[in-house]
A and B are shown apart, each in its own frame.
Chain A
Amino acid sequence: MSDIAIELRGIDKSFGLVHANKNINLTVRKGTIHGIIGENGAGKSTLMSILYGFYQADKGDIVIDGKTVTIKDPNAAIASGIGMVHQHFMLVENFTVLENVMLGAEDSQILNTSISKARVELKRLEKEYALEVNPDALIEQLPVGLQQRVEILKALYRKADILILDEPTGVLTPPEADHLFRILGQLKDQGKTIIFITHKLREIMAITDEVSVMRRGEMVATRKTKETSVEELAELMVGRRVLLRVEKGAANPGEVKLAVENLTVRDSRGVTMVDNVSFNLRAGEIVGIAGVAGNGQSELLEAISGIRKAVGGKVLLNGQPIDVTAHVDPRDLRDRGLAHVPEDRHHVGLVLKFEEAENGILGYHHDKRYLKGVFLNTKAIQADAEEKIKKYDIRPPNPRLKTANFSGGNQQKIVLAREMERGPDVLIIGQPTRGVDVGAIEFIHKRIIEMRDQGKAVLLVSVELDEIRALSDRIIVMFAGRVVGERDPDATEGELGLLMAGVEGRKEAAE
């Protein structure tokens, strides 16, 4: 018996022209927590999918416990002792915890016997790992943290020795994440091997023993966590010194353009996602909203831009109220000077099957400029698109091309051009550079600053704290749906981090 749990040798995987994994080598020691870190699209998830039998590698070997194995489907992975906690939980929502844990691991055709056995086993696992959860609760009634616990139990129930967690903290509140880390620590003490995938450096430093860094499909380094630093890992991840600094002068804030008062929003399940939020946004400033994904930022943007109904509160645009608790027409808001770059450009900001020019008028298709009566003025639409293509350097410069065929950065430029060129009073931007290549990031940041300098009010939401700090004139931190603090952009990362984790905020809110 070696002390190596998993060894990957020369794993290679392509999807068409995309080379997702290039000659990956990885050694994971038994009884350790091994972090894998990399930016979005670095190939982490593909690699884990290969390990879990979702994809077959084009080349390379997987060695588990010293034996070369073929993992042709998740079944084979489970048989090799691999369990996986997916980023999006693989749970049947209207089943009980017990049924979910059992699913696929029932030991007889008739359920009754399986159920009683599973109940006993679940009790044992609960005790052994302190993973308490009511076996008869329906998944849809459990909070996210507990749902994740069910996923872990599923893996343990299948006697997994190696547990892969794919971005497990993305959906968790900080206390839930802390709890998860304690659980992982216990699992490690019991001899389980854990592979922890994340793009958050802090988590890597907090709980891993070793860390491997992926960049653009390659495994660029493996370090002992104790012997490395956040700075080194960040550099390995990005491939150059991360000095996200944007040239900008001092802000010159004018009158209040957007006032949000006591806004409260619930999601479709009735969970309060935005809780009594108030803030002001002035002309000529950029206000950044920082926070871990899922703390209400998305719902806040949706409520302000009229996509989602709020249950309480007021929003004033240019001093005039928007009836956010009734049906709001996004068109009306556009007419009143509000532009919105949505977080999800693939499904919301663009229609990927449209030609570029057609996307150039999305939401503004009522504008007389683009119409002749009830008909579309195709010539004007085309000319408008060509002008924006030039100004925003959108490539390839072809307004008739289907939008799906543009790269992420160019797609985002299509959205930005559409929303910025209207000269709105208020610009709301969600995740301006998600999935955007480095060159385009600089361009997009510059344009955002320009908007501010033209006296526009800009509200920025991003999960990239660096981006928030580089662009914002003021930073509002959201946690669990509430505004937990406001800081200057020169606040330290540590200070903001604590706020985002809900640590400082509670004190502040209590005061």
Chain B
Amino acid sequence: MSNPYAKLPGWAEYGLIPLINLVVAFLVAGLVVLLVGENPLNAAYHMINGAFGRGEYIGFTLYYATTFIFTGLSVAVAFHAGLFNIGSEGQAYIGGIGVALACLWLDKTMPWFVVFPLAIIGSAFFGAMWAFLPGWLQAKRGSHVVITTIMFNFIASSLMVYLLTKVLKPLGQMAPQTRTFEAGGQLPKLDWLMSIFGLNLGNSPFNVSFLLALLAAFGVWVLIWRTKLGYEMRTMGHSPSAARYAGIGEARMTIIVMMISGGLAGMMALNPIMGEQYRMQLDFVQGAGFVGIAVALMGRSHPAGIIPAAVLFGMLYQGGAEISFEMPAISRDMIVIIQGLVILFAGALENMFRPAIGRAFASIGRRSAVAAQTRGA
């Protein structure tokens, strides 16, 4: 009685419905393109061409996707435990400190494969610590993570401005950023991977942190569905009262889950800092934490969904840059609109099309049942 929606087969639930939501989001975005007097089909062509037309473009697409896999996983892990972490943005930003410290310390003396593991630990640690506070505040003081993580995003932003202008900036330099790292602070690109497919990476910053992202995605899958901790997280996410009954400490779990989520967000910082710019700049996160919300919602919080969703957003970011080159009326802000629309249709309005699809399936089911009967008779 309490389930108003018909049960759908798995492929419809996890494939068809997200696809429909996505298509609707793009249709609405197409309307915006029409509104500014451009042809949406042209825009779509430029976008796809811009994202996949050349090896270099693909490299950029996957570079962005790397970032979004991390933030998408960050949001998804929290979702599984019933927590909404809007703070991936700030956690990724603070995570950058860990990367920068590792690089500034060792880049001149150590090769990248020594610095990289330390940077991973540093980024995850700083990201986790920035998420620890909201987690702790919810667990022990009852303040809701949604609100505190929003506040922490702003606090992180102020803190980083302070650090980059007052502490981490080398003397005599104007721009608020760290010095440029030497070879030890620069991640190798994945040209060998691309060349397997006969593609040339060109100038794109597609680097080894992509492999780390894939590893993280697999790790998250194992964590959620194959470990005791994941079992406890899911129990809490589905039913806090059952978790209490089972002796799963809500406070402890909230803190742990927020720290895992923050750690994943923090690792995002590796990609732009060590993989592209070789220094930490102001605002290097550029909203990737929020894209993570869209990616997690699109990917249904499952790593197997998050990776394609992240690639999709990578495509939007890279292809969007190309559109703005070809069609000046459409700047990269178009992506922000699409991102918002995806969050709206795949998240807040996820149930809008479900009744209609459910009815369609029910009627197909009836018809085939009738057909089976007639055959039987």
A374 to B232, CA, bound (A): 12
Interface size classification for chain B: 20 to 34
Contact stretch, chosen from B58-66, B206-214, B241-249, B341-349: B241-249
Shortest beta-carbon distance from A329 to chain B in Å: 5
Q: Does A348 reach chain B (CB closer than 8 Å)? A: yes
A362 touches B235 (CB 8 A): yes
B247 touches A376 (CB 8 A): no
Q: Does A29 reach chain B (CB closer than 8 Å)? A: no
B227 touches A340 (CB 8 A): no
Given contacts A15-B1, A16-B1, A348-B241, contact A362 B228 (CB under 8 A): no
A352 to B231, CA, bound (A): 14
Given contacts A347-B242, A350-B242, contact A329 B247 (CB under 8 A): yes
Q: Does A365 reach chain B (CB closer than 8 Å)? A: yes
Residue of B nearest to A331 (CB): B247
A365 touches B1 (CB 8 A): no
* B interface secondary structure, majority: helix
Q: Does A279 reach chain B (CB closer than 8 Å)? A: no
Q: Does A245 reach chain B (CB closer than 8 Å)? A: no
A347 touches B241 (CB 8 A): yes
Most buried by B among A16, A307, A342, A376: A376
Shortest beta-carbon distance from A423 to chain B in Å: 19
B234 touches A354 (CB 8 A): yes
Given contacts A15-B1, A362-B235, contact A307 B244 (CB under 8 A): yes
A330 to B232, CA, bound (A): 14
A18 touches B246 (CB 8 A): no
Residue of B nearest to A308 (CB): B244
Residues from chain B with a CB closer than 8 A to the CB of A351 are 234-235, 238-239, 242
| A contact residues, total (Cβ < 8 Å) | 34
A78 to B308, CA, bound (A): 54
- Taking CB atoms and an 8 Å cut-off, the chain B residues in 221-278 that contact chain A are 222, 226-232, 234-235, 238-239, 241-242, 244-247, 249
Shortest beta-carbon distance from B100 to chain A in Å: 32
A330 to B229, CA, bound (A): 17
Q: Does A366 reach chain B (CB closer than 8 Å)? A: yes
Residues from chain A with a CB closer than 8 A to the CB of B245 are 305, 307, 330, 340, 342, 348-349, 362-363
Q: Does A334 reach chain B (CB closer than 8 Å)? A: yes
B238 touches A374 (CB 8 A): no
Residue of B nearest to A327 (CB): B249
Shortest beta-carbon distance from A308 to chain B in Å: 9
Residue of A nearest to B235 (CB): A351
Residues from chain A with a CB closer than 8 A to the CB of B239 are 347-348, 351-352
For this complex, 13 residue pairs linking A to B, each with C-beta atoms less than 8 Å apart, are: A18-B1, A330-B244, A332-B247, A340-B245, A353-B238, A354-B235, A363-B245, A365-B246, A366-B228, A371-B228, A374-B229, A376-B226, A376-B227
Interface residues of A (CB under 8 A from B): 15-16, 18, 305-307, 329-332, 334, 340, 342, 344, 347-354, 358, 361-363, 365-366, 371, 374-376, 378, 404
Given contacts A365-B232, A376-B230, 4 further A-B contacts (CB under 8 A): A16-B1, A329-B249, A344-B241, A375-B226
